[in-house]
A and B are shown apart, each in its own frame.
Chain A
Amino acid sequence: QVQLVESGGGVVQPGRSLRLSCAASGFTFSNYGMHWVRQAPGKGLEWLAVIWYDGSHTYSADSVKGRFTISRDNFKNILFLQLNSLRADDTAVYYCARDVGKYDQGVFDFWGQGTLVAVSS
């Protein structure tokens, strides 16, 4: 069955960096676009970034553009999100999610359980 398992979250000071990982299994990872979505405490979902099946194209939300970078390793079936210059308002649970297609249709049919990033001094 499809499984997405995030890791790499934790408590980090403002201005520091973190790299999140999402290990995929149970499907052909290299056939799907992949996304990162976050949810701040008590808030709604916020889409962050997408990467095409082959890694050739990425798109990011303006709120994280220039600070967060999405990437993937199709040999190891892992999705990444590099978080730089972290701020207090980046505190959230970060989810990886699979797109229904190869590119960025924008429908998320499987999600991981999330990893918590807490930015605090």
Chain B
Amino acid sequence: DIQMTQSPSTLSASVGDRVTITCRASQSISRWLAWYQQKPGKAPKLLIYKASSLESGVPSRFSGSGSGTEFTLTISSLQPDDFATYCCQQYDGHPWTFGQGTKVEI
């Protein structure tokens, strides 16, 4: 199975900060990577797919980059609604696997 490792596990930030989260795959997954946002007690929400494609309705302050084994999710200017946990997911092949998540907190 492809292992997905995120860093950091927790990130303390303030409104207006630029935030970057890293996701590393244990083998190359080309650009088959998605990012999700999850708030406590809520279902995950798709933010980005194919490493850098923004899902419809997602604010443009979210962006993704990378290919192969290293990927990043960037929030250009953190908003109050963005305090949540973010996780990456590879879909290069079965079984699809997720990172352990990065909690963005104040």
For residue B42, which residues in chain A have a CB less than 8 angstroms away from its CB?
Answer: 113
Chain A interface residues toward B at CB < 8 A: 43-47, 59, 61-62, 95, 100, 104-114
A44-B101, A45-B98, A46-B98 given as contacts; is B49 within 8 A of A100 (CB)? yes
Q: A107–B34 contact, CB under 8 A?
A: yes
For residue A100, which residues in chain B have a CB less than 8 angstroms away from its CB?
Answer: 49
Tell me how far the C-beta of B42 lies from the nearest C-beta in chain A, rounded to whole angstroms.
Answer: 7
Q: A47–B96 contact, CB under 8 A?
A: yes
Q: A44–B49 contact, CB under 8 A?
A: no
For residue A113, which residues in chain B have a CB less than 8 angstroms away from its CB?
Answer: 42-43
Residue of A nearest to B95 (CB): A61
Q: Is B22 positioned at the interface, with any CB of A under 8 Å from its CB?
A: no
For residue B55, which residues in chain A have a CB less than 8 angstroms away from its CB?
Answer: 109
Contact with A along B26-50 (1 / 0, CB 8 A): 0000001010100000111110010
Tell me how far the C-beta of A51 lies from the nearest C-beta in chain B, rounded to whole angstroms.
Answer: 13
In this complex, which of A104, A106, A112, A113 has the most chain B Cβ atoms within 10 angstroms of its Cβ?
Answer: A106
**In the assembly, what is the distance between CA of A11 and CA of B97, in Å?**
27
For residue A111, which residues in chain B have a CB less than 8 angstroms away from its CB?
Answer: 43-45
